[in-house]
Amino acid sequence: MSSEITKELLESETSGVLKTELTLGLPGDSLVQKSGIKRGFSDVDLKLANYDQAESQPPPQAQVVGWPPVRSYRKNLIKNCKYVKVGVDGAPYLRKIDLEILSSYQDLLTAMGDMFTCLTICHVLNERKLMDSANGEEYVPTYEDKDGDWMLVGDVPWKMFVESCKRLRLMTSSEAIGLGAAAPSTPSKGSSTSC
Amino acid sequence: MAYSFPEEVLEYVFAFLSSHKDRNAVSLVCKSWYEIERWCRRRIFIGNCYAVSPQIVIRRFPEVRAVKIKGKPHFADFNLVPEGWGAYVYPWISAMVRSYPWLEEIKLKRMVVTDESLELLSKSFKNFKVLVLSSCEGFTTDGLASIAANCRNLRELDLRECEVEDLSGHWLSHFPDNFTSLVSLNMSCLGSEVSFSALERLVSRCPNLRTLRLNRAVPVEKLPNLLRRAPQLVEFGTGAYSAENQTDIFSNLVEAFSGCKHLKSLSGFWDVDPAYLPAMYYACTGITSLNLSNATVQSPDLVELIIQCPNLKCLWRERELIEDMTTQVLDYIEDAGLKALPSYCKDLQELRVFPSDPYGAEPNVSLTEQGLVTVSAGCPKLQSVLYFCRQMSNAALITIARNRPNLIRFRLCIIDPQAPDYLTLEPLDTGFGAIVEHCKELLRLSMSGLLTDRVFEYIGTHAKKLEMLSIAFAGDSDLGLHNVLSGCESLRKLEIMDCPFGDKALLANAAKLETMRSLWMSSCSVSYGACKLLGQKMPKLNVEVMDERGHPDSRPETCPVEKLYIYRTVAGPRVDKPNFVWTMDEDAVLRLS
């Protein structure tokens, strides 16, 4: 391609290009982007605690991955942060969630539902699950505790859970069968090999 | 005239060439110089572990003693590269174990290192001396125990900002009782408590120890004992720097610090209690490097400490040492603190100001562009800046550029993406334009704020020495990218996130990509079709598409790819790709169609 033609072609791109404004909105809003791809929410840093409180604080902000360019260890250092990795069976990427800013299991489910936008929360017989409406697959939140055992989320007091949780995983219901509920004296190891 | 010098003479002369660039240039002079040079090269630097294979390196350089390898792209630091992407060191180590039995040094950056790799290395290299792991991950403290137990001649163990699975602090106790060769230990990124008595004994029996960077778990009460055993220390990092109010701790600290007459660098300072800072004043006169980026200490105390360090500066040695020889603070220093800096630290060369609350909606400290302007005016040797702030103006940038035409690194992060000049509400194009126009030796630039295609015109026109450029949320069209790729003659690394750059500029400048180390583009507008085309036309590049949504074939060709990583290579497509990375090459294109 001659450089003249290149320049012409490129210059025709520039006239009258509207600048779309980037807005960081509440979770659930679409993130308007200049570029072609809609950004999902990863590294969710939602200040969900504000939902229940009538405060004059600024509204919760969802954060974009990679911005601002601050290293993870620095994030964990400044505030009381507890970032743990969250994986979903079948999805290639891991994400991270800050447990310190959440105050209940309900918050956690909501955050996970927002993070993996194809999943919706469903309450089945008082159990906490997430469902992928596209393929009908049900996911159960599980976590690895300090001892390296995989447990179902939800059976210990929230604070205790935050203290002992090392990482989270949304397992398909079938894979999660056999996982122990947390009991202080006898945590049972998951029998499935997928852990 | 190569034939008129015996090989031994040439080899002797080449030994004086330490820079990789010089060595590479020498090897291109003629075949016999190539041969001589490759047999006597002892130090190898591999900027991208996928640009070459271990086998190719070993075949060309049979007598290597020191290796430095970099893995993941820089944006991996900000969670843009998913886990499992690659950069495994194991294949390198296992190949080197066979061919470099006398290897002494391994330095890695952004690579995945397993306990298995560490154990293998510790048992195979009998003369192993230096292990520096920078921003690495994948290993546990068990791997460190292997290193401690087996590397009898270890001099340096430096873990910089690594993600280590911390099983226990017991690893330190694996250094044998007759192990005395330690010169440098940096364990600052570890969480667990090590045995203090083991640490004290280790420090006591290593007379050449000059660098000791402790982790947060070492309480301030333990410092005096350690410092007394190592008064020869040149670089020291504290642990948590606070305690219950006990006056004898303070006086012990004063005594211990005043015994350290050679200290040049201080770091650590987690959980700092300002009341304990004065204990260090006696040690501060020789300090040239201060890292307070963990210290959530407010401006007046910080300034007091900095005042105690009249020689604070940055010694220009090899680039890799620069990281340690800087002044690093949190933005708690505020404009007021930065105003004080030039009066007391006239020789300051590098300044890094990190954000204390990067996600807060409102500013929590009084740090603005003025702080940076003041430092740029008052510190004539300032050449390297990393600055997080919440507002910027073109006027400030132009002033900084005029004050400091000697800047070589300028990284500015305005926290709000696309923030305009806060005074005029205009884009910051002219400000950054002034930076590249005045700072003719600029090697590295990171931009932020509201930027249009115009800034890239300035960059393409002026930034002729620029080697690394980082862009986010900037530009309007392909013309921006085109200006950078066609104008920046020295460009080696380009990383772009969330910019409206698409196919045209990339395809038009395909040849340029072979002259660079790598290009990263995420959340831009490059189509799958263009990636395939690029991969087909440029066999010496690996064009890697990363997409969480599954194989790009399941979407239209015009659909933009999520992430794109392009790098030159002589090793062909990667063989260790995870299931969310695809290499666009002829074979792949044929297989997919």
Residues of A in contact with B469 (CB under 8 A): none
> From the CA of B6, how many Å to the nearest CA of chain A?
49
Q: Which of A142, A163, A165, A156 is nearest to A184 (CA)?
A: A156
How many residues would you count in chain A? Answer: 195
A160: alpha, beta or left? (left if phi > 0; alpha if psi -120 to 50): alpha
B478 in A contact zone (CB under 8 Å): yes
Mean confidence (pLDDT) of chain B: 91
**Would the CB atoms of B417 and A67 count as touching at under 8 Å?**
yes
So what's the pLDDT on residue A82? 80
Q: Which two tokens stand for residue B371?
A: 């702080």
A95 Cβ neighbours under 8 A, 6+ residues apart: A42, A43, A44, A85, A86, A87, A115, A116
What is the chain B residue with the closest CA to A147? B167
Helix pair A3-14, B478-487: axis angle to 10 deg: 140
CB burial readout B402-422, b (16+ within 10 A) else e: ebbeebbbbbbbbbbbbbbbb
Interface of B with A in 282-341 (CB under 8 A): 293-294, 296, 330
Centre a 10 Å sphere on the Cβ of residue B590 and count the other Cβ atoms it contains.
9
**How far apart, in whole angstroms, are the C-alpha atoms of residue B543 and residue B532?**
8
- pLDDT of A5 over the 60 cut: no
Q: Which has more pLDDT, B243 or B432? A: B432
Centre a 10 Å sphere on the Cβ of residue B344 and count the other Cβ atoms it contains.
15
B356 in A contact zone (CB under 8 Å): yes
**How far apart, in whole angstroms, are the C-alpha atoms of residue B125 and residue B100?**
8
**How far apart, in whole angstroms, are the C-alpha atoms of residue A143 and residue B249?**
42
CB B361 within 8 A of CB B352: no
DSSP 8-state code for residue B443: -
B448 Cβ neighbours under 8 A, 6+ residues apart: B412, B413, B414, B417, B419, B472, B473
Answer positive or negative: Cα dihedral of B415, B135, B220, B264. negative
Among B11-20, B67-76, B242-251, B491-500, whose mean pLDDT is lowest? B242-251
B415 in A contact zone (CB under 8 Å): yes
Is-cis flag, bond preceding B380, omega within 30?
no
Q: Which amino acid is at B454?
A: R
Helix pair B20-27, B31-40: axis angle to 10 deg: 140
CB B355 within 8 A of CB B345: no
B348 Cβ neighbours under 8 A, 6+ residues apart: B312, B313, B314, B327, B341, B342, B375, B379, B381, B382
- pLDDT of A23 over the 60 cut: no
CB B433 within 8 A of CB B408: no
Q: Which of B489, B517, B519, B492 is nearest to B505 (CA)?
A: B519
B550 Cβ neighbours under 8 A, 6+ residues apart: none
B358 in A contact zone (CB under 8 Å): yes
**How far apart, in whole angstroms, are the C-alpha atoms of residue B89 and residue B92?**
5
Q: What pLDDT band is residue B66 in, cutting at 50, 70 and 90? A: very high
So what's the pLDDT on residue B88? 98
What is the chain A residue with the closest CA to B411? A69
Residues of A in contact with B352 (CB under 8 A): none
Helix, strand, coil percentages in chain B from 3-state DSSP, rounded to 5: 40, 20, 45
Residues of B in contact with A66 (CB under 8 A): 75, 78-80, 472, 497, 522
A63 in B contact zone (CB under 8 Å): yes
CB B403 within 8 A of CB B383: no
Q: Which amino acid is at A91?
A: A
Q: What pLDDT band is residue A192 in, cutting at 50, 70 and 90? A: very low
Q: Which has more pLDDT, B416 or A34? A: B416
So what's the pLDDT on residue B320? 23
Please give the angle made by the CA atoms of A174, A176 and A179, to the nearest 5 degrees: 140
**How far apart, in whole angstroms, are the C-alpha atoms of residue B409 and residue B263?**
27
- pLDDT of B128 over the 90 cut: yes
Residue whose pair of structure tokens reads 């921003």 in the numeric block: B135
So what's the pLDDT on residue B290? 84
Report which listed range, A87-96, B342-351, B552-561, is most confident.
B552-561
CB B482 within 8 A of CB B510: no
- pLDDT of A59 over the 70 cut: no
- pLDDT of B345 over the 80 cut: no
So what's the pLDDT on residue B586? 58
So what's the pLDDT on residue B314? 37
CB B113 within 8 A of CB B133: yes
Q: What percent of chain B has pLDDT over 90?
A: 75
Q: What pLDDT band is residue A76 in, cutting at 50, 70 and 90? A: low
Q: What is the mean pLDDT of residues B178-182?
A: 97
So what's the pLDDT on residue A125? 53
Q: Which amino acid is at A192?
A: S
- pLDDT of B180 over the 90 cut: yes
So what's the pLDDT on residue B246? 72
Integer-rounded Cα radius of gyration of chain B: 25
DSSP 8-state code for residue B401: H
Among B245-249, B405-409, B441-445, B579-583, whose mean pLDDT is lowest? B245-249
**How far apart, in whole angstroms, are the C-alpha atoms of residue B133 and residue B108?**
5
Q: Which two tokens stand for residue A104?
A: 């209940």
Q: What pLDDT band is residue B319 in, cutting at 50, 70 and 90? A: very low
- Testing the interface with A: which of B329, B359, B531 to mutate, by most A Cβ within 10 A? B359
CB B536 within 8 A of CB B510: no
CB B398 within 8 A of CB B404: no
- Testing the interface with A: which of B79, B531, B554 to mutate, by most A Cβ within 10 A? B79
Residues of A in contact with B578 (CB under 8 A): 92
3-state SS of B333-379 is HHHHHHHHHHHHCCCCCEEEEECCCCCCCCCCCCCCHHHHHHHHHHC
Q: Which has more pLDDT, B270 or A136? A: B270
Q: Which amino acid is at B552?
A: P
How many residues would you count in chain B? Answer: 593
- pLDDT of A30 over the 60 cut: no
CB B404 within 8 A of CB B439: yes
**Would the CB atoms of B358 and A85 count as touching at under 8 Å?**
no
Please give the angle made by the CA atoms of A184, A189 and A194, to the nearest 5 degrees: 140
- pLDDT of B187 over the 70 cut: yes
pLDDT (tens digit, 9 = 90+) per residue, B262-309? 999 999 988 888 888 888 888 888 888 888 888 776 656 777 777 777
Q: Which two tokens stand for residue B519?
A: 């290009």
- pLDDT of B341 over the 80 cut: no
Q: What pLDDT band is residue B579 in, cutting at 50, 70 and 90? A: very high
β-pair partners for B465: none
Q: Which two tokens stand for residue A60?
A: 């919760």
- pLDDT of A16 over the 50 cut: no
So what's the pLDDT on residue B116? 98
pLDDT (tens digit, 9 = 90+) per residue, B421-464? 999 999 999 999 999 999 999 999 999 999 999 999 999 999 99
3-state SS of B314-328 is CCCCCHHHHCCCCEE
Measure the N-to-C terminal CA separation of chain B; round to a whole number of Å.
Answer: 55
Q: Are strands B518-522 and B541-546 parallel, antiparallel or unpaired?
A: unpaired
Report which listed range, A47-51, B203-207, B293-297, is most confident.
B203-207
CB B186 within 8 A of CB B161: no
- pLDDT of B182 over the 60 cut: yes
A160 Cβ neighbours under 8 A, 6+ residues apart: none
CB B289 within 8 A of CB B326: yes
Q: What pLDDT band is residue B587 in, cutting at 50, 70 and 90? A: low
**How far apart, in whole angstroms, are the C-alpha atoms of residue B486 and residue A55?**
52
Q: What is the mean pLDDT of residues B248-271?
A: 90
**How far apart, in whole angstroms, are the C-alpha atoms of residue B74 and residue B80?**
9
pTM: 0.85
Residue whose pair of structure tokens reads 């068990």 in the numeric block: B142
Q: Which has more pLDDT, B2 or B225? A: B225
3-state SS of B489-523 is CCCCEEEEECCCCCHHHHHHCHHHHCCCCEEEEEC
Which residue among A14, A42, A43 places its CB closest to the CB of B479?
Answer: A14
